[in-house]
Amino acid sequence: MALTRNTATADSTANTMFEEMEMPNTAAAEVAAPAAPAATTAVAPAAAPATTAVAPAAAPTAVAAPRAKFAPALAEFNNAIPIETIEGMGIGGLPRITVDLGGFTMQEKPLGNQIKLQLLSWNVKYAIVTGSTDAEANEHYKVSYDGVNLVGGGNVEEYLSWLKNVKGYEKAAKKQYVDLWGFLTFANGKDLPEDECKTVNVQVSPFSVSKFHAFQLDLGIRQGRGMTVSDTIVLNAERGKMGSNNFGYITFSAK
């Protein structure tokens, strides 16, 4: 296959008072002014020899080294396949890989606990779910790619309100997923021959989304430090437990 600065400024204003001088009264009685003394010529003292002062050189100003900024990697693959194309394919347009307690599966066929994917594109996806497992609940499953508008028409928030207040699904929610698109190059513990590599869709569940974004940041830091990384990523199936619920999730690493 990439703080706060408290600035305190104190403004002080110096107040200076000016006093106007009193002028003499020109309307006084006419009195002859005494004669002015004879002018004398003052001899100015000899000028002091000129000296040339050399100012000391200014000390160099220390410049702080700029802080490195690390951006998450794989940004160039975000929506590389346009959302309009994905919507046009519909769900299941390409083989979909999911993860559960048994590892990765594709069309109900096991792929093992590790797969490798040559990444082509990734995108965020929101699933609108009822929070129930009854048969009717599946009919109310909807998808949004921007979190606002439903695929096929409608508004996400209005639809959630309808599910909760009209249909009675109190646990209805909007959940964020990530879809990965790429060539499957490794499964069931071995590299796949070139003619068996398929373009697939890997569904990254909400719990695994944070793992994917953490992987992006780690990869971005590596790239920022000058390391070369491959566009092939490794996906590992892991087991998790939350309360009494066991579930499978995905962790990510570089090839």
> Residue 95: exposed, middle, or buried by beta-carbon count in 10 A (0-12, 13-18, 19+)?
middle
47 occurs within a structural domain: no
Q: Model confidence over 43-90: pLDDT tens digits?
A: 445 555 555 555 566 666 666 656 667 899 999 999 999 999 999 998
60 occurs within a structural domain: no
19 occurs within a structural domain: no
36 occurs within a structural domain: no
Q: Which pLDDT score, from 0 to 100, does residue 52 have?
A: 54
State the Cα–Cα distance between residues 94 and 80, nearest whole angstrom.
Answer: 16
Spatial CB neighbours of 214, under 8 Å, sequence gap ≥ 6: none
In this structure, are residues 255 and 116 in contact, taking their beta carbons and an 8 Å threshold? Answer: yes
pTM score: 0.72
Q: Which pLDDT score, from 0 to 100, does residue 68 have?
A: 62
Tokens 């430090």 correspond to 225
In this structure, are residues 116 and 186 in contact, taking their beta carbons and an 8 Å threshold? Answer: yes
Torsion, CA 26, CA 27, CA 29, CA 35, rounded to 10: 20
50 occurs within a structural domain: no
Residue span of the structural domain in which 198 resides? 75-254
Q: Model confidence over 171-199: pLDDT tens digits?
A: 999 999 999 999 999 999 999 999 999 99
Torsion, CA 111, CA 113, CA 118, CA 122, rounded to 10: 100
45 occurs within a structural domain: no
Q: Model confidence over 137-176: pLDDT tens digits?
A: 989 999 999 999 999 999 999 999 999 999 999 999 999 9
- pLDDT of 201 over the 60 cut: yes
In total, how many domains does the chain have?
1
Helix (H) or strand (E) holding 28: none
In this structure, are residues 222 and 228 in contact, taking their beta carbons and an 8 Å threshold? Answer: no
2 occurs within a structural domain: no
CA angle 92, 108, 195 (to 5 degrees): 75
Q: Which pLDDT score, from 0 to 100, does residue 173 have?
A: 98
In this structure, are residues 187 and 115 in contact, taking their beta carbons and an 8 Å threshold? Answer: yes
Helix (H) or strand (E) holding 222: helix 206-224
Residue 21 — pLDDT band, cuts 50, 70, 90?
A: very low
242 occurs within a structural domain: yes
**Chain CA centroid to CA 26, Å:** 82
Q: Of 130, 138, 128, 126, which is closest to residue 167 (Cα–Cα)?
A: 130
Q: For residue 153, give Cα distances in angstroms to 147, 168, 218.
A: 13, 22, 37
